[in-house]
Amino acid sequence: MLSGRKMFKFYFFGHDYEYEARNALRVFDLNIDYEIMHGSFDGRSLSVLSYLEEGEIISAKAQLYNDCELLYESCISENDIVLEKYSLKKLKKTLVIKTIHNVLKSYYKVYPDYGILTGVRVVKILITAKKYSKSNEEINKILRDTYEVKEEKIKLLWDILNIEEKYIDENINKKNYNLYIGIPFCPSKCSYCSFTSYVNCTDKKIFTYLDTLIYEIEKTIELAKKKELNLHTIYIGGGTPSVLNEEQIETIFNAIKKYYDLSQVKEITFEAGRPDTINSEKLICLKNNFVNRISINPQTMNDNTLLSIGRKHLGFEVVEKYLLAREIGFQTINMDIILGLPGEDESDVKNTIEIIAGLNPENITVHSLAYKKHSELTRESAKLFKDYELIKKMHHVIKEVCEVKCYKPYYMYRQKNIKGNSENIGYTKKDRECIYNIVMIEELETILGCGLGASSKIMTGENKHETVRNFKSLEEYSKRIDEIINKKQTLLGG
């Protein structure tokens, strides 16, 4: 807990939506604490009283008090909103969230671009609404009136769906699976990162991990083939997979090649994220194994920022390794950048995006910084900044440059505690979008994850997924790997 923070008290009547109330508060303030009160309102401190009434018409009310003074009130009934898909549970939660959001919006004088939405998958609202035969006008009304999304973001969502739609076909999607392989090793730990990763590991430790990983990959592929699922894409992420040497990389691909001709896999992505881990031998190894998409991720081209966030390379090395990858023949390269890094403003972002877009990669992925619970940045920050206006300016700079360079947004997702209550957006050149990113983020197809901390999302019915989460400690992952495989087998019906 950060010291010196204010406190909000929440009183719930007729519901217990603590999780939703907390997320609504975090849209506006990352520094304030909250407490759930039981019993009657005591008339002290900042308080939100939230009511859900289930009579003939379901309605919700929220009141925001400072001590005994009523500052703001919001009342909404089920007649005031339309959902993309009717669900009584979702209706009740939406009414409660909307009223709490409205009184907090009035108190903070902040009007978030995505309105009351706090979830990851915003485009999925459009996909679901279209599935339930809602017209475009009805969908816009849902976004605008129910969820209070701003017009600029509504247009962004439609622009993304226009690209994603060619990958939405239930008859095909349900027959596919996508293989994710996690490599939890890094050359150093970035200050903003909370992913499970180990730094400067010995080859012995890495090979021990790979033994378990290969076992999981082979058993997982066997389950998928028994289910007669088609392998659509492969994504090797991390961590930093490019910390592996060529022998270790070959070990992974050899396991997959027992079952598949890699030249026939539609898309194989390898995150070669850190330029200080890339050399020509590794790139040739990837090319020989039919990797057709790699990521080289600068995050920023500001050398001072790179050093301050724990990266062990400079901007010029990013350019060098990008050009090396082109020379070796990679035709699809993604580059990640992060908006809102400590000490940066829109001029730093302009410098970064102009250099990156000038290199002309096929994909550029733009993240807004999110304060992760277990990251060094969050732990060491005296105050967590939303930076609404700064992040808006940064995204505007990105959009301007990307439009000039003929990039279009093709997928997006959001995170908790994200700066500016904003989003992460993937931009692409025409017809060069990453298929894995789309089918994964929109939950269109089964994802089978292998490796430490990996997640599988297995389609078990229409619009229904079940998740299997792998263990996050090396010891547990190794000792209990058969538990993970058995869970996958149960969900796949093997």
- Per-residue pLDDT of 116-156, as tens digits, reads 999 899 999 999 999 999 999 999 999 999 999 999 999 99
Within its chain, how far is the Cα of 72 from the centroid? 33
Burial per residue of 423-437, b for 16 or more beta-carbon CB atoms within 10 angstroms, e otherwise: bbbbbbbeebbbbbb
pLDDT averaged over the chain?
93
Q: Which long-range contacts (CB under 8 A, 24 or more apart) does 306-314 make?
A: 308/191, 308/342, 308/343, 309/190, 309/191, 309/192, 309/341, 309/342, 309/377, 310/188, 310/189, 310/190, 310/191, 310/376, 311/188, 311/190, 311/274, 312/187, 312/188, 312/274, 312/276, 313/274, 313/275, 313/276
Dihedral sign from CA coordinates of 77, 82, 85, 90: negative
Radius of gyration of the chain (CA): 24
pLDDT band at residue 262 under the 50/70/90 scheme? very high
- pLDDT beyond 70 at 374: no
Structure-block tokens of residue 48: 């939100």
Task: Select, from the ranges 369-373, 380-384, 487-491, the one with the highest average predicted confidence (pLDDT).
Answer: 487-491
pLDDT band at residue 312 under the 50/70/90 scheme? confident
Residue type, 407: Y
Within its chain, how far is the Cα of 154 from the centroid? 19
The set of residues, in sequence order, having a beta carbon less than 8 Å from that of 306 and lying 6+ positions away, is 298, 299, 300, 313, 314, 315
Q: What is the mean pLDDT of residues 4-21?
A: 89
Q: List, in sequence order, every residue forming a beta bridge with 50; answer none if it has no partner.
A: 12, 62
Q: What is the mean pLDDT of residues 160-175?
A: 96
- pLDDT beyond 60 at 8: yes
**What is the model's pLDDT at position 271?**
96
**Phi-psi label, residue 417: left if phi above 0, alpha if psi -120 to 50, beta otherwise:** left
Residue type, 161: L
The set of residues, in sequence order, having a beta carbon less than 8 Å from that of 355 and lying 6+ positions away, is 301, 315, 319
Phi, psi of 61 (to 5 degrees): -145, 140
- pLDDT beyond 80 at 373: no
- pLDDT beyond 70 at 6: yes
Residue 353 to residue 395: CA distance in whole angstroms: 11
- pLDDT beyond 60 at 5: no
Judged by average pLDDT, the poorest of 172-176, 194-198, 347-351, 378-382 is: 378-382
Phi, psi of 65 (to 5 degrees): -115, 145
**What is the model's pLDDT at position 3?**
41
**Residue 339: closest CA among 328, 329, 350, 331:** 350
- Cβ 384 vs Cβ 378: under 8 Å: yes
- Cβ 455 vs Cβ 446: under 8 Å: no
- pLDDT beyond 80 at 157: yes
**What is the model's pLDDT at position 382?**
61
- pLDDT beyond 80 at 446: yes
pLDDT band at residue 201 under the 50/70/90 scheme? confident
Alpha helices in 240-339 (DSSP H): 246-257, 280-288, 303-308, 315-328
- Per-residue pLDDT of 205-250, as tens digits, reads 999 999 999 999 999 999 999 999 999 999 999 889 999 999 999 9
DSSP state of 166: G
Comparing 192 with 474, the larger pLDDT belongs to: 474
Alpha helices in 260-382 (DSSP H): 280-288, 303-308, 315-328, 346-359, 376-380
**Phi-psi label, residue 56: left if phi above 0, alpha if psi -120 to 50, beta otherwise:** alpha
Helices 388-404, 346-359: inter-axial angle, 10-degree rounding: 20
**What is the model's pLDDT at position 60?**
98
- Cβ 156 vs Cβ 412: under 8 Å: yes
> CA 388, 366, 371, 453: dihedral to nearest 10 degrees?
160
The set of residues, in sequence order, having a beta carbon less than 8 Å from that of 251 and lying 6+ positions away, is 210, 214
pLDDT band at residue 273 under the 50/70/90 scheme? confident
**What is the model's pLDDT at position 309?**
83
**What is the model's pLDDT at position 463?**
74
pLDDT band at residue 194 under the 50/70/90 scheme? low
The set of residues, in sequence order, having a beta carbon less than 8 Å from that of 296 and lying 6+ positions away, is 272, 273, 275, 278, 318, 321, 322, 325, 333, 334, 335, 361
**What is the model's pLDDT at position 233?**
98
Judged by average pLDDT, the poorest of 23-32, 164-173, 391-400 is: 23-32
Residue 437 to residue 367: CA distance in whole angstroms: 14
